[in-house]
Amino acid sequence: MKEAEITEQFRLLQQEIVLAGEAIEAIQRDQRAEVDALRLDVEVLQRCLLQLHPEFAVHFETIRAELRREIDPEASQYPLH
């Protein structure tokens, strides 16, 4: 290969890497937005349940404590019981 061809191949690879990096950043932004939307939805559901069933707060904390012992939040898949 001639030096000019190698230089062009290198330039194209650099450009491809930049584009891939930009795509990853866009995906990460989208995922953060989706996580934020889920957090909001969970908060809305929790507040609705608290208004409809004030005893929910006690049950929620009890169930949360049980699940924290049963489920590893760092695991990629949660076990189904």
* Residue 1, CA atoms < 13 Å, CB-side half-sphere: 8
Helix/strand/coil for 55: coil
- Per residue in 53-74, pLDDT (tens digit) is 999 888 888 998 998 888 877 7
Average pLDDT over every residue of 25-39: 97
**Matching residue, tokens 């957090």:** 39
**What per-residue confidence (pLDDT) applies to 41?**
97
**The token pair that represents 32 in the structure block:** 């953060």
- Cβ 49 vs Cβ 56: under 8 Å: yes
Q: Report the predicted TM-score, pTM, of the whole model to 2 decimal places.
A: 0.65
Q: Are 51 and 62 in contact (CB under 8 A)?
A: no
